[in-house]
Each structure stands twice: as structure tokens, then as C-alpha cells.
Structure 1
Amino acid sequence: MRSVCMYFQLHQPYRLKWFWPDDSKGFERYFDVAINRSIFEKVARKCYLPATTLLAELVDQHEGNFKFSVSITGTLLSQCEKWNPDVLDIFTQLADSKRVEFIDETNYHSLAGLFDDKNEFREQILEHHELTSDLLGVKPQVFRNTELLYNNSIAETVSSMGYKAILTEGVDQLLDSRSPNHVYKAKDCGLPVLLRNYKMSDDIGYRFSARWWEEYPLTADKWANWASTEQGDCMNIFMDYETFGEHQWSDSGIFDFLRALPGEVLGKGLEFNTPSEIVEKYEPVGEVDVGDFNTISWADMERDTSAWLGNDMQRRCFEEAKLLGPYVKRTNDPKLINIWRHLLTSDHYYYMSTKWLGDGDVHSYFSIHTSPYDAAINFIAALLDFKTCVFRKLAEMNKE
């Protein structure tokens, strides 16, 4: 192993309120400002502020040898602007360091990439690109789709937009005994693809504080030793940023682990590279071919779309939201379009999952609903009310 490529995903959605028609209008008619602000402030206190401060210190301490990449959804960036600009300031410091690569995605952490028509997908990517440029002063060149959702048509769309690489999951059936520790290329379009090494990533993201794990406790030295014995060119370690302080609490020792990790990895003769550096440094060793009906992701054990579209409730809600899109666009009303795009955020559909055991616990995390059925009922109630608003607006336009 020669390179370690670390990528962190930052996202908070705008969760729906428990919907009941009232006199409120616009965005706050559907989304619970108080709940969203409360959750944001908790995660900012436990994760965003301490983790980002520590990472900035490590970048300085290692004099440019410690590099990583992040993507921040537009929904989270807007929450930072409104509720704690200090968080945004620290992200800006990372951008200014020139050692952290910022990555594009859909602005609303949405499922628009699963639409047959990719125009909405493109629009949301461009919106995120512009927002990241305006707030952080960077112009991302690499793309990661919501939840690492990937198929050939998504890769083709991303390639046509000029991105130099895309990230996705190193799914076993996709690799067919090949290693994820190489650069690959997308079928037909040839876009470089970086595949997540899910075992090494999940050792930190999920198993770090698991006392049942035979490798507990995980130390930075132990993990770096494992990394040094991996075969291949580049090991792609992709995980949620909330790993640091939220999913793994501070008293688990996760911040001590993070503080020691760069030094241990560098001490084993490995180097840190950003995704852009990886695709410039290494040539693709093979092709990945993922048909549209076999879309992959980094979610759950199945690593497919079932986390969001695995049951009839999820599919019905998604189809209703998708079919409403052309009518919303016809209004040319920025406020209505904004609400509709927030209704495409993947989290709403994730909360409707009826999976059980370990994955079920993950699906209920940060959900305001007592069950997936409540989540689906509430979503469809809000969507149908919003649909009424859209068609009322169109009727008014026809009268003019």
C-alpha cells in the first residue's frame, strides 16, 4: 500500500414537522425549525467544532503531509449560516489550508440521481458547486453522489459535467475478487472511480467502540499497521464526519485516535493523498460496470438502493415526489422549488425503512418518528398538502 485517501461526509437534513394543516406558509409549513436547530447545535457542539478544530491542527502539525477530503451538503451549509457561523468559519480555514479537498454532491443530499431524466440531478449538482464556491472559496473537481449511489448513467452524467473522478462503494459483487485499493474507470465514459475500502473504513466508523469486537480496543498504531499490509495503490477510507464525537462519543477515545492517526500512518511509510491527487498519481487497473437496475451505495448490508426504496411505502412516496416535479418547475416559484427539492432529501425515505436488526437501529438515528410507518404517513400528508399548494399556484397563473 502506498497512499491513504481519507474522505468525510457532512450532512444534516431539514426534517419534517409532524404535519397538520395550519396557518403557516412556505418552508416552515412543512419543516420543523426548532427540532432541526436543536439537532444541529448538538452535533456542532459534539462533532463539527471539536473535530474540525482538531483536523485543522493536524494539517498544520504535519506540515502538509496530512491531507484529506470532505463534502458538505447544501442543507448543512445553510444551517451553519443561520445557526452557527463559527462552524462555517472553521470549514473555511480548512479550505484556506489548501491541504483539504472539497467535493461536490447534490445540494440537497437527494435521490435525484435515480431519476431517469438527469436534468434535475445536474441542476442540484451545479447549485452545490456554486454554494461551495461562494461560501468556502473552492471549486470542487471530484464528485460523490448522495450515499455513494452509483450506476453507469450517474457516472456518465458526472463525466459530462467535467468532473475528474467519482467516489462510490467497493461492493464485493462489483469487484468480483478484485481489490478496492486501486483506481478503476467507469464503463463507457471512462471516468476514474475511487472505491471505498469498507472493512478498513468501518473499523473506525462503526466498530471503534464495539466491545464485542475481537479487535477492541482499536488504536491508531494497530490501524496503521493493518493499512501498511494492505495490497494495492490507494486505500480509500470514506466515512461520516459524525463518527468523531457523535456516532463515537468523545469518551470512547475517538478524538485521541484521530489525533494520533496521521503520525502513525506516515510513520509506516504511507502517504496521504486527496482524490484528485490519487487519480493523477495512479492509472485505472480495470473497469466497473453497474447497470441502472443494479445501483450500488454504501448503505446497510445490501449496499444497494433498498435503504430508501426497499418497501412499498418508500417507493410510493418517492414516485409521488418525482411525478410532482414538472408541475413544481412550471410554477417558476423559487420557494416552491426549494421546498420540493428538500422533499427529495434521502433522509425522509431512509426513516421509512422497515429493515430490522442492526440496520434498523441506524435508520432510526436522528429520526423524529416513532416508527417507519409514522414517517411514511407524515411524509405523504405533507407532500399532498404541498401538491395542493402547487396546483393552486398553477391555477392562479392560468387566470392571469
Structure 2
Amino acid sequence: MRAICLNFQIHQPFRFRRYRFFDIGNDHYYYDDYSNETILRKMADHAYLPANKILLALINKYKNKFKVSFTISGPALEQFELYAPELLDSFVELAETGQVEFLAEPYAHSLVCLKDAEQFKAQVKKHQDLMEQYFGQRPTVLCNSEKIYSDEIGDLAAQMGFKAMLTEGAKHVLGWKSPNYLYCSAANPRLKLLMRNFQLSDDLSFRFSNQAWSEYPLTPEKFASWMDDEPKDEVINLFLDYDALGGFQPESSGIFKFLEELPKAVFKKTNFCFATPGEVADKLQPVAAVEVSHPIAWSNEERDLSVWLGNELQQEAFDKLYQLQPRMQTVTDAELVKDWEYLQACNHFYYMNTRFFTDGNAQRTYNPFESPYEAFINYMNVLSDFELRLNSFVPESKIEKEIAALNKLLEEKDEKLRKYELELKNLTTGKPKKNRTSKPGTNKPKKTATKSVKKD
């Protein structure tokens, strides 16, 4: 079998509003609802929905000859529900064709794999449950956040029962070897590895509409001939951010027309078929083991973690966040747990990257902050308020325990005062006494990331 494996990643974080120092301890709502809703609606209308429509048409046209896969983060799915429910319906419709595979990832699109193995497993399991709930599939293939992989992470994936992982076909890892074959993990050979062909993937994601590119314009026939350049190649792994279709590459670039015509060119000019990652793992045999002692990813030229953890700001924020992990394990408050998940999204650390403010990188336009220092200060303010809230649930020190106990005592006294005030009011007005056991307004829905929001 010679296969083309298409995987699209979708992630939208819950972006934070400008959270000032004086908000700490006074306002526990962190989210820029307007931005979140605006960005999600923009991507849904101009990218995700049109692309889904094309994919569904191709699946219906070519039956079981055309297949794709998706990796959709937990926060992205939550925003689908909040701001574009018809988008979620369109993914369910794709799932019902039986030609679309949904992969697992850490629920929060986090970097937790670098800090806590057990929490990494817990986040992945939560995401598996979500995929099963929405799409009726229990993922057997793992795609870590931003394609991050190492031998240690691969071993964890194998322990969890995954048969394959997706990662980057980094040159410093593969050396002379081609990414166009199936490999296995050196740490645990039971885990198969699909290595991204970054040259062909980036041709579509970043170079497609560049009129200065020597290969512009890129046609489906030309692209199909490139994929068929080496007759012995077994699998071409095209892993893209779904935002590329209609986002990075706007409709005016012809990207949607290219997608519509690509299968026809492939079937006419090559002997490739389209297959999902799970099918590739089942039908092909690994040609070699790949040893990855240090984590690799797909997001920069070095294929390392430096876009998230390359400077002191990022490292300080990252370490400060996960210092709270042990205490969070005992927290059951749903609102606090949800905020904890949103705090872990790798985007917050990406915004603190100093490189993109000096090298003119185009992706800087997706950073809502004027500087990495502003991003750092904003994040640390949010984290400081979050820690105050956490202290009320799980005090860290003896002093904090005493403060928490006093706060609880004050709350109980306030509740008694409210109760007595109500009884007194009922007696003076002659109205029957109503039982009230909770604070006024506590049954009202709290602010969540369900407000209207903008997008990046």
C-alpha cells in the first residue's frame, strides 16, 4: 500500500483579557470573550465550514478512496459549542461517514508532557472520552500538542495502549532517512511513528500563495507529481494546521479549489490512496526505530521547544504554573479546574516568545500582545489571582490555612447575618419566612468562557 495521510490540527485557546495588577483578588474572570467569539466565528465562516463542506463532498464522491483525520483540542470543541454549534454538527456529519479518524491529544493542548506523566495521561484520557462522546470513536492514535515527541513520551503513549503517534520528520532525527516511511519508537517498538513530511506540508501551509516562490502557482497535478517523486515511498504524511485552509491561505489564493481537485490528480497520476493514521499503522510495517532523546516539535526551524520555553520569561511562567499541580490534584471545584486547564494552553507561552518580535516572523500577527513582556505580565497577574483562589481550597502553608479558616468563619457569620436580616424583614412586613440556605445570587450562573468573544 502507498498512502497519503492527511491530518488537520485544530486548536483555539481561551484568550485572556488585559488583566491588571489591581484585578488580582478582586475579579476572577480572566477571558476576553469578545476576541474568543470573534476569532472562532471568523475561522468557522472562512476556513473550517467551507473546508468541511469540501471534504464531505470528496468523501461522498470517492467513497472509501478518500480519507482524512483530525486532531481537535478540548478548548476548540468547547468554543464550537459556544459560538458555532453548526460547526460541531458538520464534524459529526464527517465522523458519520466512517472515513474520518479523530486522534487523541492532551485535552488542554498543553505542555504537561514535559512536567507530569500522570497528568499527561489524565489529560489524554479526558480527550479520548470527549472524542468518544462527540464522534463515537475511541482514539487509538495519539498526536501530542504541537506534535511534541520524545522517547519518554512515546513510552508513555505505548503504556496507554496507543498503537501510533504523529510527530515531526525532523532532519536532525531522521538524518539521511526519508519521512515517507513508517517507523517505530526506539523506547517501545510497539508504538509506530508517522513522521511529518515538512517540505510538502509547508508548501501548502505557508508557501502556497507566495507569488515570489519559485514554484508558484502550485497546481494539484504538480503537487501529485512531487509526492510520486520516489516510487519506493510508502506514505506521505501531510500534517497541517486547519487554519491554513481559508486562514493562512485565504480563499482568494485558490486553496479550496486546490483541495477539491487534489484527489483527482492523485488518482490519475499516481498509485497512492488516501488513508487515516490508524490504517497506516495497521497496514504498513516499520522500516526502522527512531531514537529521540530530546523532545521535537513542528513549530519552528529548529524543531524544538524554544518557541514556548526558549527564554527566561517563558520558563518562569511555565515553572510557576506547574508548581501548583500537586495541590490541584485534590481540587474538585469545577470552575477552578476549568481555569486550570485554560491556563495550561501552550499559546500563553508562545505569546512570550521574544524571537518573533525581532525577526519579522509572519505569525507575530496572531499574538494579541504588543510585546512578550506584556504577555508575561498579563499571564502572571492571572496566575497570581488563580493561586489566591487555590489557596482558599488547598492552603499551602500554616498561615494560609489559618487565613482560609478565618475566611470560612467570616463567611459563616455573614450567612447567619443574612438569615437573621431576612427573618427580621419577614417579621416586620408580615410575610411568611422563606428558607434560604445559600448566599443571594449563588444560584445564578457564574461567568464562564461562554460570553460573546472575539477571535484573534
Quick check: 1:184 aligned with 2:183?
yes
Q: How much does 1:357 deviate? A: 7.6
For residues 130-158 of structure 1, the C-alpha deviation after alignment (integer angstroms, 9 at most, x for no partner) is 11111222211100000000011111111
Q: How much does 1:374 deviate? A: 1.0
How far apart, in 1, do the equivalents of 2:358 and 2:234 lie? Answer: 32
Look up the match of 2:145. 146
What is the letter of the counterpart of residue 389 of structure 1? R
In structure 2, do the counterparts of structure 1 residues 351 and 272 end up closer, same or farther at CA, with 3 Å as the change threshold? same
What is the letter of the counterpart of residue 375 of structure 1? A
How far apart, in 1, do the equivalents of 2:26 and 2:387 lie? Answer: 16
Mapping for residues 108-119 of structure 1, pairs under 5 Å: 108-115=108-115, 117-119=116-118
How far apart, in 1, do the equivalents of 2:388 and 2:40 lie? Answer: 30
For residues 101-123 of structure 1, the C-alpha deviation after alignment (integer angstroms, 9 at most, x for no partner) is 111101111111111x3011111
Look up the match of 1:10. 10
Look up the match of 2:89. 89
In structure 2, do the counterparts of structure 1 residues 75 and 161 end up closer, same or farther at CA, with 3 Å as the change threshold? same
How far apart, in 2, do the equivalents of 1:334 and 1:160 lie? Answer: 29
Q: How much does 1:366 deviate? A: 2.6
How far apart, in 1, do the equivalents of 2:332 and 2:226 lie? Answer: 54
What is the letter of the counterpart of residue 143 of structure 1? L
How far apart, in 1, do the equivalents of 2:348 and 2:260 lie? Answer: 34
Look up the match of 2:288. 286
How far apart, in 1, do the equivalents of 2:93 and 2:79 lie? Answer: 18
Q: How much does 1:393 deviate? A: 2.6
How far apart, in 2, do the equivalents of 1:30 and 1:305 lie? Answer: 26
Q: How much does 1:362 deviate? A: 4.5
Look up the match of 2:319. 319
How far apart, in 2, do the equivalents of 1:216 and 1:39 lie? Answer: 29
Q: How much does 1:188 deviate? A: 2.5
How far apart, in 1, do the equivalents of 2:210 and 2:357 lie? Answer: 16
How far apart, in 1, do the equivalents of 2:306 and 2:155 lie? Answer: 23
Look up the match of 1:77. 77
CA contact 1:143–1:165 (8 Å) conserved in 2: yes
In structure 2, do the counterparts of structure 1 residues 112 and 362 end up closer, same or farther at CA, with 3 Å as the change threshold? farther
Bigger mean CA offset, 8-17 vs 225-234: 225-234
Look up the match of 1:277. 279
Look up the match of 1:255. 256
CA contact 2:24–2:381 (8 Å) conserved in 1: no
What is the letter of the counterpart of residue 249 of structure 1? P
What is the letter of the counterpart of residue 75 of structure 2? T
How far apart, in 2, do the equivalents of 1:75 and 1:343 lie? Answer: 11
How far apart, in 2, do the equivalents of 1:35 and 1:86 lie? Answer: 20
Q: How much does 1:381 deviate? A: 1.1
For residues 284-319 of structure 1, the C-alpha deviation after alignment (integer angstroms, 9 at most, x for no partner) is 11111111xx21000111110001000110000000
What is the letter of the counterpart of residue 233 of structure 2? G
Moved segments of 4+, more than 6 Å: none
What is the letter of the counterpart of residue 74 of structure 1? G
Partner SS state of residue 19, structure 1: coil
Stretches of structure 2 that go unaligned for 5 or more consecutive residues are 409-456
Look up the match of 2:450. none
What is the letter of the counterpart of residue 40 of structure 1? L
Partner SS state of residue 373, structure 2: helix
How far apart, in 2, do the equivalents of 1:172 and 1:352 lie? Answer: 27
How far apart, in 1, do the equivalents of 2:390 and 2:357 lie? Answer: 39
CA contact 1:8–1:241 (8 Å) conserved in 2: yes
TM-score if structure 1 supplies the norm length?
Answer: 0.95
Q: How much does 1:364 deviate? A: 2.2
Look up the match of 1:167. 166
In structure 2, do the counterparts of structure 1 residues 84 and 23 end up closer, same or farther at CA, with 3 Å as the change threshold? farther
How far apart, in 1, do the equivalents of 2:153 and 2:360 lie? Answer: 28
Look up the match of 2:438. none
Look up the match of 2:104. 104
What is the letter of the counterpart of residue 271 of structure 1? C
Partner SS state of residue 77, structure 1: helix
What is the letter of the counterpart of residue 237 of structure 2? N
Q: How much does 1:326 deviate? A: 1.4
How far apart, in 2, do the equivalents of 1:114 and 1:318 lie? Answer: 10
Look up the match of 1:225. 225
Partner SS state of residue 387, structure 2: helix
Look up the match of 1:134. 133
How far apart, in 2, do the equivalents of 1:360 and 1:145 lie? Answer: 28
The percentage of counterpart residues that share the same residue type is 37
Q: How much does 1:270 deviate? A: 1.2
In structure 2, do the counterparts of structure 1 residues 16 and 164 end up closer, same or farther at CA, with 3 Å as the change threshold? same
Bigger mean CA offset, 336-345 vs 102-111: 336-345
Look up the match of 1:382. 382
Q: How much does 1:25 deviate? A: 5.4
How far apart, in 1, do the equivalents of 2:261 and 2:136 lie? Answer: 29
Let me know the Cα RMSD of the aligned residues.
1.8
Quick check: 1:264 aligned with 2:265?
yes
Q: How much does 1:12 deviate? A: 0.6
Q: How much does 1:332 deviate? A: 2.8
Partner SS state of residue 64, structure 2: coil
How far apart, in 1, do the equivalents of 2:300 and 2:94 lie? Answer: 30
Q: How much does 1:24 deviate? A: 7.0
How far apart, in 2, do the equivalents of 1:200 and 1:357 lie? Answer: 27
Partner SS state of residue 195, structure 2: strand
Computing the radius of gyration over CA atoms, which structure comes out larger, 1 or 2?
2
Look up the match of 2:361. 361
How far apart, in 2, do the equivalents of 1:14 and 1:79 lie? Answer: 8
What is the letter of the counterpart of residue 283 of structure 1? Q
Partner SS state of residue 62, structure 1: helix
Look up the match of 2:246. 245
CA contact 1:354–1:360 (8 Å) conserved in 2: no
In structure 2, do the counterparts of structure 1 residues 269 and 357 end up closer, same or farther at CA, with 3 Å as the change threshold? farther
CA contact 1:150–1:295 (8 Å) conserved in 2: yes
CA contact 2:357–2:364 (8 Å) conserved in 1: no
CA contact 1:224–1:264 (8 Å) conserved in 2: yes
